[in-house]
């Protein structure tokens, strides 16, 4: 039974598009097809159910968005990931897909490798979601107990207190989501650093479409609200709340709490960035110092060999120069003094190295505090 192929339902009114998708999927999956939204709703509740759905957006009668909305409103089909397939690559289109519960988006003409990758991820998401359902339920119970005892403002204060001990950007993202769970809210956060984005959600895995929307909307304004969705952008952090309450008074208080929490999170993020940059600087400086010391030692050994050869050649040449013993001794003294000065200069360089090492050690101690 475990070796049975996963089932993928294609919903499209175009036989040609169905044929193309089916040709790319049939080797790895059991593929079903529906030519209308109405038929897709019937097939989705039959056992065995599909593990992923590829949904065309533009169809006569019930379009892809309405079909997805009905699938997500049905407890029997709401856990199946819906991947929209459309010829339009706009924020508006993707927002519409996200609003009705879509988890990802494919642009026509579909690329086979991308198709297989997204279907595979959608099926894995469904499995992980099933595994985490019990854990999420227990977490929500703990969250409700915590909010009753700590109070709304206490959540923010506790977050601020805990944020001081966070030592990595990954742990900061987790702390944000875990803290917001005390409000019984479903949250996803995106933190941008060094050209990359770190995404974290209280319900993993985070849908690709959700990640893309956070990336695209991070400069769309400080606070964005639409229905039960709320997005807060502050500095390099974007927060998405997916289930804001309907009660306007409570909703207003939550907006204030969340804005303050994200502002505090961004302040801690800037400190973490400085610590990371300082740590990278210390590491690179230590490496450069070690390389420089090795070069200095090699240079010293080379200089000693050169001076020894000079002295040997000079002593050998004294016989042909016709110098007196006194003249030879003076010349040797001049050269030996030059060697001593060269070695003294080298030793002064070593003292500078030790001073640099002391400074780097102090910086490392500061970094650990």
Q: Give the start-to-end residue ranges of the domains of the chain.
A: 7-128, 131-269, 275-368
Q: Quote the pLDDT of residue 150.
A: 55
Q: What average pLDDT does the segment 136-143 reach?
A: 68
What CATH number does the domain located at 131-269 have?
3.30.450.40
For 65-74, 123-132, 293-302, which range has the lowest pLDDT when averaged over its residues?
293-302
Number of alpha helices (DSSP H) and beta strands (DSSP E) in the chain? 10, 10
Q: Which residues of 202-212 are buried (b: 16+ CB within 10 A; e: fewer)?
A: bbebbbbbbbb
For 65-79, 239-253, 331-345, which range has the lowest pLDDT when averaged over its residues?
331-345
- CA pair distance 140, 243, nearest whole angstrom: 13
Pick the CATH number of 7-128 from 2.40.50.140, 3.40.50.2300, 3.50.50.60, 3.40.47.10: 3.40.50.2300
pLDDT at 2 over 70: no
Q: What average pLDDT does the segment 220-234 reach?
A: 89
* Average of per-residue pLDDT values in the chain: 83
Helix, coil or strand: residue 101: coil
pLDDT digit string, tens, across residues 45-73: 998 999 999 999 999 999 999 999 999 99
pLDDT at 43 over 90: yes
Q: Is residue 1 very low, low, confident or very high in pLDDT (cuts 50, 70, 90)?
A: very low
Q: Is residue 145 very low, low, confident or very high in pLDDT (cuts 50, 70, 90)?
A: low
The contacts of residue 64 (CB under 8 Å, 6+ apart) are: 11, 37, 55, 56, 57, 58, 84, 85, 86
Q: Quote the pLDDT of residue 219.
A: 83
Both tokens assigned to 175: 């702390």
Q: How many residues does the chain have?
A: 369
8 Å CB contact between 300 and 308:
no
Both tokens assigned to 279: 């740590």
Helix, coil or strand: residue 195: coil
pLDDT digit string, tens, across residues 201-220: 887 788 888 888 888 888 88
For 39-53, 270-284, 313-327, 330-344, which range has the lowest pLDDT when averaged over its residues?
313-327
Q: What average pLDDT does the segment 178-198 reach?
A: 90
- CA pair distance 234, 266, nearest whole angstrom: 7
The contacts of residue 119 (CB under 8 Å, 6+ apart) are: 8, 25, 29, 52, 54, 83
- CA pair distance 214, 190, nearest whole angstrom: 7
- CA pair distance 104, 94, nearest whole angstrom: 9
Indicate whether this model's pTM tops 0.85.
no
Q: How far is CA 30 from CA 4, 6, 80, 128, in A?
A: 9, 6, 15, 20
pLDDT at 278 over 90: no
- CA pair distance 221, 190, nearest whole angstrom: 15
Strand ranges of the sheet holding 237-241, from the earlier edge strand across to the other edge: 196-201, 187-193, 237-241, 229-234, 223-226
Q: Quote the pLDDT of residue 134.
A: 66
């Amino acid at each position: 039974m475990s070796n049975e192929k996963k089932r993928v339902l294609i919903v499209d009114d175009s036989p040609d598009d169905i044929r193309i998708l089916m040709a790319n999927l049939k080797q790895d999956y059991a593929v079903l097809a529906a030519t209308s939204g109405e038929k897709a709703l019937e097939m989705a509740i039959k056992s065995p159910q599909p593990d992923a759905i590829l949904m065309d957006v533009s169809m006569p009668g019930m379009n892809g968005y309405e079909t997805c909305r009905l699938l997500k409103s049905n407890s029997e089909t709401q856990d199946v990931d819906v991947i929209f397939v459309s010829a339009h690559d706009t924020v508006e289109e993707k927002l519409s897909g996200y609003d009705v519960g879509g988890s990802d988006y494919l642009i026509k003409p579909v690329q086979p490798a991308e198709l297989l990758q997204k279907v595979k991820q959608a099926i894995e998401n469904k499995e992980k979601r099933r595994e985490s359902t019990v854990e999420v339920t227990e977490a929500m119970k703990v969250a409700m107990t915590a909010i009753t005892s700590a109070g709304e403002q206490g959540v923010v204060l506790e977050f601020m207190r805990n944020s001081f001990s966070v030592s990595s950007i990954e742990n900061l993202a987790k702390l944000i989501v875990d803290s917001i769970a005390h409000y019984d809210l479903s949250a996803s956060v995106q933190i941008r650093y060094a050209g990359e984005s770190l995404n974290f959600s209280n319900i993993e895995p985070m849908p690709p479409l959700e990640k893309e929307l956070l990336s695209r909307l991070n400069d769309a304004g400080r606070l964005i609200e639409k229905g039960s969705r709320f997005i807060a952008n502050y500095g390099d952090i974007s927060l998405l709340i997916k289930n804001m309450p309907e009660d306007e008074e409570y909703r207003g208080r939550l907006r204030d709490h969340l804005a303050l929490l994200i502002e505090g999170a961004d302040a801690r993020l800037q400190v973490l960035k400085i610590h990371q940059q300082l740590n990278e600087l210390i590491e690179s400086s230590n490496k450069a110092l070690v390389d420089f010391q090795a070069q200095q030692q090699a240079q010293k050994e080379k200089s000693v060999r050169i001076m020894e050869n000079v002295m040997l050649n000079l002593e050998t040449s004294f016989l042909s120069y016709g110098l007196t013993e006194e003249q030879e001794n003076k010349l040797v003294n001049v050269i030996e003094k030059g060697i001593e000065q060269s070695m003294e200069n080298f030793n002064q360089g070593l003292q500078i190295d030790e001073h640099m090492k002391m400074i780097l050690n102090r910086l490392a101690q500061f970094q650990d505090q």
